[in-house]
Structure 1
Amino acid sequence: MNWLTVNQLAVLLWKNFTLKKRRLISSVTEVLAALLFVVMLLIFRTLTGIDVAGPYHFKPQPISTMPSFIKDAKEWELIYIPSDIDVVTEIIENVKKNLNTTLKVRGFPSEAEFENYSLLGFASQKVLGAIVFDCGFKNKNDALPLQIKYHLRFIGVQRTIWWPDKTGWKTTFLFPNHPSIQPRNPDFHDGGSPGYIREGFLAVQHAVDKSIMLYHETSAGKKLFDETNILIQRFPYPAHPQDKLLWISSPFIPLMFIIMFSSIVLSITRSIVFEKEKRLKEYQLIIGLRNWIIWAGYFFTFFPLYVIIILLICALLFIVEEPILRYSDCSFIFVFLTCYAIASICFAFMVSTFFNKTHLAASAGNLLFFASFFPYNFISEHYGMLGLTTKVTACLSANVALALGINILIKLEIQEIGVKWHNLWTPANLEDNFIFGYMFGMLLLDALLYSLVTWYVEAVFPGQCDVPQPWYFFLMRSYWFGKPKIQKTAEETKCFPIVHNCFEAEPTNLVAGIQIKRLYKEFRNKPAVSNLSLNVYEGQITVLLGHNGAGKSTTLSVLTGRFPATRGEAYINGYSISDNMIEIRKDLGFCPQYDLLFDDLTLSEHLFFYCMVKGIPEDINCVEVEHMLSMFNLKDNYHALSGSVSGGVRRKLSIIMALTGGSKVVILDEPSSGMDPMSRRATWDILQHYKFNRTILLTTHYMDEADILGDRIAIMVRGTLHCCGSSVFLKQIYGAGYRIVMEKEPYCDVNNIIAMIQHHIPDAVLENDLGSELSFILSKKYVSRFEALFTELEIKRKTLGIANFGASITTMEEVFLK
């Protein structure tokens, strides 16, 4: 990175921070909006305390108790499978005895028949459960093996729950879907849902196990069972603090953090797209800034704002009398939120590349930002069922990664552990294998991925800002290492003049600063510029004339690198516009057709900014700028914001910006449009003064401007060059001759005047005879007779009734119209 690059980045940051300072109210609003939720939490903290819950002690529960919903046991059935094995029938009879109930038992040969019975028969509503033996019985009389495999089937929706749980018995979970930091269902001594006791599951399981064991046991074993009573009791749970604030707000805190940062992401997107829409970024690229420097400037402009907000958030969360987070490490939270800040800035960069209109970008960007948070709702709802891979993949959305990180933070805070550097790779719960370290890595990966998308889309679809790259540009060696910086000599690049009577012979003693060779530019197969060849010489002002749509602005856009040429080539200072546009822009000054200025920068700040971009220190360029400001009479507006001055003043500033910074090639697109006559004259004087050692190419619609400024004038018609030469040369080729205009007296004798003029100039033509004005067109071939004609008119002026008369040569307007 050379000194010029560092200098450009520094002055770009100065410009961005100056604009931020001018929009101070907006910046302060963004900060306050981000802190609003934290302030609300602090207020609630003062209103809510931390209570101590517990300790919890639970009563023993008998496992043989039948479910409370069984009022009349004779109406209920216990199913067993298979029903055609004698030993299974015997076991089931013992199960019924062990349950000490009058339940009916019904057997089915296979599970398929039982399932048909359950689906088609209404009686299946009264089935307590089904016992399915899977012992591989072959014959009806097979004995019961010592190693027995069986499973129990109960109804999916538990009968003892008032509000049925959609996940039923949760047999696929090792731990609850939403892990709790207090004992699960603390108000239920039997454990609550899933109701293994209250639904009769444990009673049936105990009866089956007892029957199997008694089948294989001796009489001593049977006596032992008769004397044993089995109870089940939950483990006690110690007293623990209960932070009501975090407990109540935990479902909403992730979303609140997303909302806190949404205004900043929206601001970043709007700022970037605004510069793109107003073509300010395009002008900065043309004037010599590299694209990556502009993106780096954006990043280092918004990142400090994020850091300030994060520091204030950490201060409010920790450095108060009643902190919201009591156990976590402040530096850990700061680094975590900083990683999210980097990812969200890159997300805003990515979104901005897809839009060219500020309002559309603001609306769609806001929608995309919140849409990227929606997967968290699904993850939160099914947290226990999702694997580690799914959770990590969801963190490809930075908003999801932030939400999951805050979720873990709250869990550890409630457990009085908090997030610290030493437990970065420790899960918040035994049942949760998702750890905080993954979030750090995923946020940084998100920033990288968002940046790659930004880089690719910006390169392939740059809009109006630059020449688009092919979709495979990243595979091209020239993209990474650049094309050779070959500066060809004037002889190598010179466009050979067109030999035609409409093209004046080109100067041989001047160096061509711009050489255009057979240039074509097409839009959707419609030619805008066709076979254009032209040399623009150093030390001269070359004027490009043409009606609207003739291709003038398109030609300038190709030369400045805004559009790529369809075919042909052009060289500026010996560098090809196809291969070395970066080198060309170092010495290029450009005044666009419409003023591309920052409304919140003053005139002096504009000049300082673009001088520094060119690498010219302010003190060296100060004398030159002062001189131009004086000629344009702009000293009174020197410290005025460009958005508050008139269009003429803005136009003058655009011209000065094009000429400052030591630009060797200056391209001006209708520079004097919108100026008053005095300002136009001042513009002409400045351009005449600064054309030495510069190559100046300009377009204009003012014929007098072209006549006065143009050392050489090129006229384009429908994208092609029709003629080129000095003003005098073109007038000689296309001019009708000379015009003599007379002011008549009331007694004027027009016939005598016509006779006198045609005596000297036989082919003179009466052009106009209206009111008191009389005019004639005089052929160029009789120039030698003009003196005698004018002498006779002067002598006989009063006799002929002529108040006064004057003669003029053909104007450039007439040449242009022809």
Structure 2
Amino acid sequence: MAFFRQLRVILWKNIVVYSFKRHYFLTFFTMFIPLVLSAVLVYLRSLGLSDSTQPIVRMNATVYPEFAPSISKSSFPKFVVYAPDTTYVNDIMNAIFNGSKGFPTEAAMDMYIANATLTSDSGTQLAVLFGKAPENGSVPRDLSYTVRFNNTDFNFYTGDRYPQLKTPGPREDFTDLYRQILWGLQDKMFGKHVDLLIKARNLTKKPPKIMMNRFPYPEYNKDSQFVVLSRLIAMFVVYGYLVFSPIYVRRVITEKSSRVRELMRMMGLTDWVYWIGTFASGFLVMAVTSVISLVLFKIEVAPMAAVLLYSDFSLLLFIMLLYATGAILFLLLFTILFNNAVVGVIFSTVGWVLSYSLPTTLLDPLGQDNYMVIGRSVKLATSLFPNCGLYWCYRLISYFEGQGIGASWTNLNNQAVPADNVTLLEIVLVMIGSVFIYGLLLWYLDNVWPYQYGIPKHPLYFLQKSYWYSSTDYDSGSDMEAVDDTSPDVFEAPPQNVDTTITLSHVTKRFRGTNKKAVDNLSLKIYDGQITVLLGHNGAGKTTTMNMITGLFPPTEGRVNIKGYNILTQTKKARENFGLCPQHNVLFDEMTVEEHLYFFYSLKSSPEIAWKEHINEILSNLELSDKRRTLAKGLSGGMKRKLSLGNSMIGDSKILILDEPTAGMDPQARRAVWTLLQQLRREKTILLTTHYMEEADALGDRIAFVAGGKLQCCGSPLFLKKKFGTGYRMRIAKAHPCDLEALTQRITGTVVSSHMTSDIGHEVVYNLGFPPASDVIPLLRSLEQDKDSLGIASLGISVTTMEDVFIRVGELADMSLDNGSTASSMNNGDMISVLWKKVEKHCLFLADDAYPRFQRVRGRLPLLLQQTAALFAKRANATRRQYFLPILTILIPIALFIVYALLDIKDAKMSDSSSSRLVYDLGPFAGSTIGFVDTDEPMVRPLTTSYERAMAAQKVDVKENVGDPDEFLLDIARKSLSEYEGKYLVGGSVEGVAKLVAWYNGEPLHLGAMSLNLAHTAALRFLTGEDDAVVSVTNWPLPGKLAYQLFAGVYDQTSRILCSVFVPTALAFLSSSFVLFPTHERVTKAKLLQLMAGVPGVLFWGTTFLWDFLIFAICSTAIMVPLLAIN
């Protein structure tokens, strides 16, 4: 029940109060940006094609005619080299090519090609290497050769199975390159080989005429915007949240750095509730914008024109909500790692942008559609980043949209494009896995990360039983004596029959980066039903001690127990019933006074039905009833202090830790708080610190003095006054004349323990010690009677106050640090002697020449120069003390520019995947290939059988007698286009003994050559009657010159895209840093103070500009160094 109550109030604070009541404009703006970008996508979708008023046109099925492969003399290589130059090879090459040059070996041919490449612009255009070429002039049965086209002039993309860019509709056929060069060469080579084989073996059969026919393509949507929209959807979504992400991160880090979160934990808030509430506040924004964006994407702005027309809305919503979950957890990780909101925003923004732009720009740049060549593991690994995972999802969804079927739950595990190495289901599963990974990291780092407020747990805390099962065992270590090495002279004995609430045992605290002990071996007990006051000068260690008691900081050494529970290992149990009023007001600026009290009341296990009466009582006691609906930021300093005190008292907290609770209050309000605390002391344990000695004297049951991190003394006010008080002091105003010697003799003679302490001007002070009343009364009567003769104008007596005790203990502490002794080890005479020497020492500084003197600057120019130097010194000191931020604003642009340069070079030297060796058989498609053989003439059965066996040898599942191949194939394509493009690859139809048609699927790149090779193999087996006869063709491109390998148009486009992404992003971090310091000065009124001191506005802004220009010049120079080095 408490879990849901806390969750409700956290959601109420984060969503209702913060997002919609106080910052509704900011919330609207963060939601407006992604919706605007979604609307832009819808508008782009509404734009029509060049030949139509509609953005999408429904195209009819495409049926292709059969054709005969042939060689185009105009585009075919004019000069060809080959090897080996045997009789058989020479006969084939001379019959096909007019100009060719043969070489005896492959090595000789390679040497010639290498020299030609270096000495000419384009090198050799075609080389042919025969595998089986007998030297005795005989003709081999099998035909085996490798064609090596110059890759500069003839690029067959042998490294790709499918085109890198897949768009709706049939792929371009590249007639000049494939039909009239490669396939024509294959057909000519086979024809001449068969002629030589028939002549050599006297074969009687005649070879069939080989024709080719491309598979038909079903009806499809002609969509010219597909390529652009498939990239823009994810990009617009990611950059749409570029405003939301830094605002969200800043709010969470600000809560942590201002200690609000730790205060909520002390008030009873559990970590699970906090993170769920924080997550929900960000998730709600992304969820609402996702739903509205998807509704916009599904709107048909024109017939058949929607951004996502066919995809299932529920699936799209699931993916967007999954993305929102991962993105929020991704951002929350940055809130764990950083305590400074500015630094956290910078790093989270860099992470947000780079987690999308870097993988997509590096792997799949807009100028080069590399999706089909990206490895499976790379796609899945990058999907661990929410932004990149969303990119891959929308790439696949766009492919489904291009097929006219859209993504749905039924095809979630289907390939969106043939031969794809991932499915949408796999990407979604990785994104689900990333949610668990980010959640576990958030949970783990939040518990063990040492560089944040709170007590970090052991790195293996999740293996400890105490983490999973709340321990209620009493800590036996709390029974140890907390004060075992102190002198009874300055430490009063503890009260009888009173329970101990808080025990500090030998507690020491050292902060990182220093050896100084903020708290040094401090031991103290705080008792139930009492007000314990912790006194000490600034920096004595009071607040550090209280922070360790509350668990804000872990002690370096020692133990802190709260009601028997160790604050380190049993933090949750120890903090039960805590009420904390920190030294600095920890308030929510966007919440009213009443909302504060309701919020903290709800965090505690208090009866909900009485919350209104309880809040009204607190408001009445603190005199805040008329401010109940005033925002915290609108309160005065004293009222803010009252509200902080009210937050600690709300919910009937049994332990109140109050750090200077009345600081900034007026005397009347302070007195009212004293009365309230005295009423509460009966049923609570109260520990407070104060700088008002009167307050300590009035409230403290026990007062503990801390100096130099050590406990100096502890006891009731009366006990401390007796131990450290100097007794009665008599102040006498001297008349003229005054017999000082006679006066001194009269006083010391009557009160033996008295002595003169000071004689300055017209006043003399005597310390009477603690004389009995029988001595004091005669002395006063004597002085009153003889005041004229002694020269007394007036006199008065005062008793020791807590301020006197405070000053004396502080002096003794300083002396003990100097002498290496402790205050408790010195007797009263030593104390007085040391204090008197210190007074004499400090009096030496009363001379006039000890004070610094300043010369007045005369003249306008010298004053301007001095002001300019002071303003530059101000910026220099600010930069020196906040060195991390300037270094960061310089390093981030340098890093981004280096990445840009490396990616640009990578693009300029892009590897040519088309230089791979490719054997024209169905090996790359083996295992899932379906083919067909069709004939209705029984007399050609031997040729049909040869065709079937040739396919079966390459693991093709053959379907026979399919009827009309076009109708058969269109029927399959209409049922499942992805299966049609991925499995139905080749086929053959036999029309008598004179004609053989090689069918091929035109969507993969090389199936035309493979199907033609199958037909040649079938024809060769038919002619020879041998089932193991084979035609083997390999395409192995020749490398061209480097100048021709740089595809200038694509490179320039990609370079511009890289520049447009990285350069503005890099300079944005640098330029935004120039806004921070002037804004900070304006908000903190430092600028106003400088202008009021006489600094001209022109000089103020001029020095600001010159300093920022200097930083910009340093950064620009630093950026150019790695760029020049890389170039």
Q: Which amino acid aligns with 1:203?
A: G
How far does the alpha carbon of each residue in 1:140-159 deviate from its partner, in whole angstroms, 9 at most, with x for none? 43855434433222112225
Q: Closer, same or farther in 2 for the Cα pair 1:39/1:360, shift >3 Å?
A: same
* Partner residue, 2:412: 424
Q: Closer, same or farther in 2 for the Cα pair 1:320/1:644, shift >3 Å?
A: farther
Q: Which amino acid aligns with 2:105?
A: P
* Partner residue, 2:904: none
* Partner residue, 1:641: 631
Cα RMSD for the two superposed structures: 3.0
For 1:351 and 1:457, the matched residues in 2 are separated by 11
Q: Establish whether residue 711 from structure 1 lines up as the match of residue 701 from structure 2.
A: yes
How far off is 1:253 after superposition?
2.3
* Partner residue, 1:394: 382
Greater Cα shift, 423-432 or 334-343: 423-432
Q: Which runs of structure 2 are paired with 1:130-149 in the superposition (5 Å)? A: 130-135=127-132, 140-141=135-136, 143-149=138-144
For 2:735 and 2:686, the matched residues in 1 are separated by 48
For 2:734 and 2:226, the matched residues in 1 are separated by 99
Q: Which runs of structure 2 are paired with 1:722-737 in the superposition (5 Å)? A: 722-737=712-727
Q: Establish whether residue 170 from structure 1 lines up as the match of residue 157 from structure 2.
A: yes
* Partner residue, 1:367: 350
Preserved contact between residue 550 and residue 717 of structure 1 (Cα < 8 Å): yes
How far off is 1:744 after superposition?
5.7
For 2:560 and 2:256, the matched residues in 1 are separated by 27
SS at match of 1:353: helix
| Match among 273, 277, 283 for residue 253 of structure 2 | 273
Preserved contact between residue 42 and residue 324 of structure 1 (Cα < 8 Å): yes
| Match among 1, 4, 8 for residue 2 of structure 2 | 4
For 1:247 and 1:517, the matched residues in 2 are separated by 70
For 2:427 and 2:123, the matched residues in 1 are separated by 50
Q: Establish whether residue 286 from structure 1 lines up as the match of residue 285 from structure 2.
A: no
SS at match of 1:251: helix
Q: Which has the higher helix share?
A: 2
Q: Closer, same or farther in 2 for the Cα pair 1:108/1:679, shift >3 Å?
A: farther
| Match among 65, 70, 73 for residue 64 of structure 1 | 70
How far off is 1:601 after superposition?
0.7
SS at match of 2:253: helix
Q: Closer, same or farther in 2 for the Cα pair 1:566/1:118, shift >3 Å?
A: same
Q: Which runs of structure 2 are paired with 1:541-580 in the superposition (5 Å)? A: 541-580=531-570
SS at match of 1:262: coil
Q: Establish whether residue 185 from structure 1 lines up as the match of residue 182 from structure 2.
A: no
| Match among 27, 51, 67 for residue 57 of structure 2 | 51
Q: Establish whether residue 16 from structure 1 lines up as the match of residue 14 from structure 2.
A: yes
SS at match of 1:252: helix
Greater Cα shift, 636-645 or 490-499: 490-499
* Partner residue, 1:162: none
SS at match of 2:651: coil
For 2:774 and 2:523, the matched residues in 1 are separated by 38
For 1:489 and 1:235, the matched residues in 2 are separated by 84
TM-score normalised over the length of structure 2 = 0.66
For 2:774 and 2:756, the matched residues in 1 are separated by 20
Preserved contact between residue 534 and residue 690 of structure 2 (Cα < 8 Å): yes
SS at match of 1:422: coil
How far off is 1:637 after superposition?
1.5
* Partner residue, 2:185: 204
| Match among 99, 104, 111 for residue 100 of structure 2 | 104
* Partner residue, 1:693: 683
How far does the alpha carbon of each residue in 1:435-494 deviate from its partner, in whole angstroms, 9 at most, with x for none? 222232122111111112222222221533211223333343433345553266986776
Preserved contact between residue 531 and residue 702 of structure 2 (Cα < 8 Å): yes
How far does the alpha carbon of each residue in 1:768-804 deviate from its partner, in whole angstroms, 9 at most, with x for none? 5556655322121455411222344455567766565
Q: Closer, same or farther in 2 for the Cα pair 1:290/1:465, shift >3 Å?
A: farther
For 1:6 and 1:328, the matched residues in 2 are separated by 37
How far off is 1:54 after superposition?
6.3
SS at match of 2:595: helix
Q: Establish whether residue 582 from structure 1 lines up as the match of residue 583 from structure 2.
A: no
How far does the alpha carbon of each residue in 1:641-661 deviate from its partner, in whole angstroms, 9 at most, with x for none? 111111111111111222222
* Partner residue, 1:241: 221
Preserved contact between residue 472 and residue 573 of structure 2 (Cα < 8 Å): no
How far off is 1:246 after superposition?
4.0
For 1:246 and 1:177, the matched residues in 2 are separated by 14
* Partner residue, 1:651: 641
Q: Which amino acid aligns with 2:172?
A: N
How far off is 1:299 after superposition?
1.5
For 1:495 and 1:241, the matched residues in 2 are separated by 86
Q: Establish whether residue 410 from structure 1 lines up as the match of residue 364 from structure 2.
A: no
SS at match of 2:178: coil
Preserved contact between residue 504 and residue 561 of structure 2 (Cα < 8 Å): yes
| Match among 429, 434, 437 for residue 449 of structure 1 | 437
- Consecutive unaligned residues in structure 1, runs of 5 or more: 160-167
How far off is 1:395 after superposition?
1.0
How far does the alpha carbon of each residue in 1:103-140 deviate from its partner, in whole angstroms, 9 at most, with x for none? 12312313x332222112347956342222334x7x84
Q: Closer, same or farther in 2 for the Cα pair 1:770/1:67, shift >3 Å?
A: farther
How far off is 1:60 after superposition?
6.5
For 1:489 and 1:124, the matched residues in 2 are separated by 88
How far does the alpha carbon of each residue in 1:231-277 deviate from its partner, in whole angstroms, 9 at most, with x for none? 55545545532234445433322211211233333332222111112
How far off is 1:96 after superposition?
2.1
Q: Which amino acid aligns with 1:176?
A: P
Q: Which amino acid aligns with 1:8?
A: Q
- Consecutive unaligned residues in structure 2, runs of 5 or more: 49-53, 809-1127
Preserved contact between residue 118 and residue 124 of structure 1 (Cα < 8 Å): no
SS at match of 1:303: helix
* Partner residue, 1:608: 598
Greater Cα shift, 285-294 or 641-650: 285-294
| Match among 284, 290, 293 for residue 313 of structure 1 | 293
Q: Establish whether residue 119 from structure 1 lines up as the match of residue 114 from structure 2.
A: yes
For 1:616 and 1:548, the matched residues in 2 are separated by 36
How far off is 1:522 after superposition?
2.6
Preserved contact between residue 214 and residue 221 of structure 1 (Cα < 8 Å): no
Greater Cα shift, 241-250 or 447-456: 241-250
How far off is 1:179 after superposition?
1.8
For 1:413 and 1:685, the matched residues in 2 are separated by 74
Q: Which has the higher contact order (CA 8 A, sep 6+)?
A: 2
Preserved contact between residue 502 and residue 723 of structure 1 (Cα < 8 Å): yes
How far off is 1:36 after superposition?
0.5
How far off is 1:529 after superposition?
2.1
How far off is 1:742 after superposition?
4.2
Preserved contact between residue 427 and residue 435 of structure 1 (Cα < 8 Å): yes
How far off is 1:338 after superposition?
0.8
How far off is 1:584 after superposition?
1.5
Aligned residues: 787
SS at match of 2:532: strand
Preserved contact between residue 738 and residue 780 of structure 1 (Cα < 8 Å): yes
Q: Closer, same or farther in 2 for the Cα pair 1:622/1:59, shift >3 Å?
A: closer
SS at match of 1:468: coil
Q: Establish whether residue 596 from structure 1 lines up as the match of residue 602 from structure 2.
A: no
For 1:249 and 1:728, the matched residues in 2 are separated by 83
For 2:205 and 2:620, the matched residues in 1 are separated by 119
| Match among 361, 374, 378 for residue 377 of structure 1 | 361
Q: Establish whether residue 437 from structure 1 lines up as the match of residue 425 from structure 2.
A: yes
Q: Closer, same or farther in 2 for the Cα pair 1:572/1:446, shift >3 Å?
A: same
How far off is 1:582 after superposition?
0.4
Q: Closer, same or farther in 2 for the Cα pair 1:240/1:626, shift >3 Å?
A: closer
* Partner residue, 1:27: 27
How far off is 1:172 after superposition?
2.4
SS at match of 2:405: coil
Q: Establish whether residue 479 from structure 1 lines up as the match of residue 467 from structure 2.
A: yes
